[in-house]
Structure 1
Amino acid sequence: MFTLPLGDDDAQLRPLEPWHAREFLAHIDRARPYVDPWIPWATYSTDLDSATATLQRYADRQAEDTRRIYGIWLEGTLVGGVMFTDFDAATGVCELGCWLEAEAAGRGLVTRACGVLIDWAFQERGMRRVEWWVAAHNTRSVDTARRLGMTRDGVLRQRSAYGGKRHDIEIWSLLSDDVPPTDAYEFPAPAVKAEKAELDRLMRVFLGAFTNTGGSRPNVDVVREVFIPQGTIIANVGSEPVVYDLDRFVEPRQKLLTDGTLTEFSEWEVAERTEIFASIAHRSSEYRKSGFLNGEPFEGAGRKTTQFVRTPAGWRMSSMVWEDI
């Protein structure tokens, strides 16, 4: 069995095989609220027998050269995976898919892993076209297709049924003749600066503070730990900006996320650019969010700009402005 590093953050890509079933089941139980609407076999993999059967089906299809599945491990824990949901060597066309636990989102793991499979399909197997089929409202997956340099070919209206409703399916593709963006799935440099890694961590902690998927309890108070005490957060979403100090920002959101008003909520970065100037830094981000507000599903997107300062205790956020789009 091979193990392929996905960078210098202790992420690895490995074949996901039937003997992984127990670990796979534990992972799917953690990921289920996040992936169940999009990955059909997540619904069916509910015990050890069904989890084993899921992986065995992929093993059988791999023997036929029609499907393959790989897991993504982060610091020794299975957190997601990528797969060829269809692989037709005769026509030179294959389809990619992916899934990921909420806690592992925002690190570029899926993009990097998909890049490995795309390179293998084009360079080793001579495939001509890699497809990406995605529910039109699955914004996370649509964002991944864009990062991989894919082109949106079209929409199959009401192609898929789930939860008693019909859903549109978008088809994205990448051709072997296409030139992907230079940084589409480039691995991190071997020596990533410690400063950038710490700023990435602070942003993950901030966004993760509001997550309450799968019955998890949000930890909004952690916002006070990633900001300096005098930190300012500004919402530029209405007719005039609203300026918060940390207390005014934290308290109503803690209530909103714990009293049943906002459930299954998560927010994640889809793109960022960070500039570091000695002891100050600036980060521009694009983000997505989804959840249920008063029982109704919603999705959204926006932009953030965040300023950081290096303090005696390390890097901290000093201010943030966000707008929804």
Structure 2
Amino acid sequence: MMRLLYRKKHLVEPAIALLLLLSIAVLPAKPVAAEDASQLFDFVSPSVVSIMAGNQVIGSGFIVNSEGYIITCAHVTKGGTKLKVKLADQRVIPVEVLDQDTKLDLAVLRADEKSLPTVNFSLAAVKTGNKVYAVGSPLGMESSMSQGIVSNPSRIIQGQEFIQTNIAINSGNSGGPLFNASAQVIGVNSMKIGEAEGIAFAIPSGTVVEYLLSNDVPVATVTSTTGEASDLPGKTEDGQQSPADQPETAGKTVPLWMVIGVIIILVLAAGAGGYLYFKRRRRQAVSSGTSEPEPNIVLSSQEQQQAPPEDNLEDIDIELK
């Protein structure tokens, strides 16, 4: 029996060590891309603009088409004359208002500028708890980002659907984009509850896309099934990979509990296999009348030189615990 345990131990221990090394090799790397808020900001901020009346920032907007089409809120542009937008590179260019829909609270602008960086829209279902990010110019502070979660994906206010979030929204954020964790626009920030913090509302991307298409403005969208962009190649005008082509799959990894479970199963299988193998060998040896060779155990030099002590227990104090 001692020989059996000895052999099984020396078979299983190397197997366990090998399996642990393999598990380290297959553990998923930490997802990057848009899951990092700073990377998301760097990716999307070039497409976000500040809406200006004179020298004052009155709201936010974002570029939806490389031909200079910009979306914002109608209450931002209403009554404004000689509007301008400030781009991420600090250039200030004039824009004209092509259309305003006060019921939807949306307006589309046109700048006489080409090859501008654009955004992609996601039409996938938004769920409570999804991470979201708002980029804009709150209180005139350009290139600001805040983050939060979706509080309610379908809040009905005066017959119109909104995405409710807990993001900090202030005057100047109106008309700016609401991004998901994949750097895709899921809404346009529109309003907040004045006497409360952490209750903000965004116009859903589906409503925004329909409005833009009704004004003959082509946009890039990401469907809920294929994740492919329409009306836009895989690269944006500045050579970046479009959000539709990269961050959606960046965060898909194997769960750690699954990896640990596989390791445990493999270790148990290796131990059981070794036990059954040597048990069968032992039975064969007994049935044939032969015995297995003793394991070659080499003692240390100190153990070889010292004679075994006599079995004299008279000088040993035994303490029970």
Same fold, TM exceeding 0.5? no
TM-score by length of 2: 0.18
TM-score by length of 1: 0.18
Higher strand residue share? 1
* Greater relative contact order (Cα < 8 A, sep 6+): 2
Q: Choose 1 or 2 for highest CA Rg.
A: 2
